[in-house]
Structure 1
Amino acid sequence: MGLYSEHEGGSRGFALVGGVISGLLFAATMTLVFRRLDLATQAALGDTPAPVRRAALRALQRRRPVPADPEIRAAGVRLAEHQLAQLRRWRIAALVIWSLLLIINVVSLLDDGSLWRLVLIPLYLCLLVYQFSRPRYLRRRIKLLEAAG
């Protein structure tokens, strides 16, 4: 919004104000979204102590060894199941959003040749791949954490 205003004949001041307003709205929205996600994660882990929460998050990372502590493994399973439920819940919306953004950017690249599109297209492709590969990874990690017990 703000960057295109000057290019289209607007003033720099208008572009700056538009950019600041857009940035503030985006920051406020992301703050609310991530706060809600954080509260949902806390609810999934219940009254688990903070060190165990951090260890459970690490237990879900790729190539990390399965923790020996059964409390950490159990928290890791709860966290993975919560993440899996969130991914299932948002799967269709994410597919639509990332696909539309990908299509829009491919069409825009063909139309205006902007090199920024060459940055965004791989980004949206990666987000699509992540959306469909993460559940399989989480299911495998849940099996590993449960089998170690």
Structure 2
Amino acid sequence: MAVFNIVVDDDPLQRGIFAAAVGGAFFGTFMGLFLMRVNRRTRVAVGDVAPDRRVAVLRSAAKGPVPEDPAERAAAARLVAHQLEETRRNRWWTLGVTAAFLLLGGWLAVTSSPWWWCWVAMWCALLGWSLVLPARLHGRLAELQA
């Protein structure tokens, strides 16, 4: 806090800009490292696919028509199986964190400001998506393996 008071005057705008810059630097560093790990695992799951076909494989794993090329179809199926395994492996963390933020948002909405209900709605949507995603991935994997 002492560094904060030395660097920033009592001006709320300066405090906000400083806090946003420091928070953004920490968040950016964390997310950069996290996404490097996720992308590395995704590349391993996809396997040897020509660089010009990698985007098509990623797209076909998510939606759209099943690729005609057996190699692309197999790569997309490996990616969907990888995503399904990651979803299964992280399901308890996902549900726990989502429940904690839902409870926190509900408590803040009741005790502080009704605007916190927007936070609760966002976490409800994320909870719904985390519950729907495994079934969606199972269906897509069945399409790709057929």
* Superposition TM-score tier, normalisation by shorter sequence: 0.7 to 0.9
Structure 1 equivalent of residue 54 of structure 2: 53
Q: Does 1:25 align with 2:26?
A: yes
Contact 1:44 1:82 in 2 (8 A): yes
Structure 2 equivalent of residue 121 of structure 1: 120
Counterparts of 1:75 and 1:60, CA distance in 2: 8
Deviation string 1:79-122 (CA, Å, 9 cap, x unpaired) is 0011111111111111111111111011101111242x232212
Structure 2 equivalent of residue 103 of structure 1: 103
Per-residue deviation at 1:77?
0.3
Contact 1:102 1:125 in 2 (8 A): yes
Structure 2 equivalent of residue 141 of structure 1: 140
Aligned length: 136
Structure 2 equivalent of residue 70 of structure 1: 70
Give me the TM-score of the superposition, normalised by structure 2: 0.85
Secondary structure in 2 matching 1:60:
helix
Q: Report the identity percentage.
A: 28
Gap regions ≥5 residues in structure 1 = 1-9
Give me the TM-score of the superposition, normalised by structure 1: 0.84
Contact 1:77 1:145 in 2 (8 A): yes
Counterparts of 1:51 and 1:119, CA distance in 2: 41
Q: Does 1:81 align with 2:81?
A: yes
Structure 2 equivalent of residue 4 of structure 1: none
Counterparts of 1:84 and 1:53, CA distance in 2: 19
- Structure 1 stretches of 4+ with a deviation exceeding 3 A read none
Structure 1 equivalent of residue 37 of structure 2: 36
Secondary structure in 1 matching 2:43:
helix
Gap regions ≥5 residues in structure 2 = 1-9
Secondary structure in 2 matching 1:65:
coil
Q: 38-47 or 117-126, which moves further after superposition? A: 117-126
What is the identity, as a one-letter code, of the residue corresponding to 2:133? R
Counterparts of 1:126 and 1:94, CA distance in 2: 13
Counterparts of 2:61 and 2:44, CA distance in 1: 18
Deviation string 1:25-83 (CA, Å, 9 cap, x unpaired) is 01111111111100010111122112332112111234x12221211111110000111
- Please tell me the root mean square deviation across aligned C-alpha atoms, in Å: 1.5
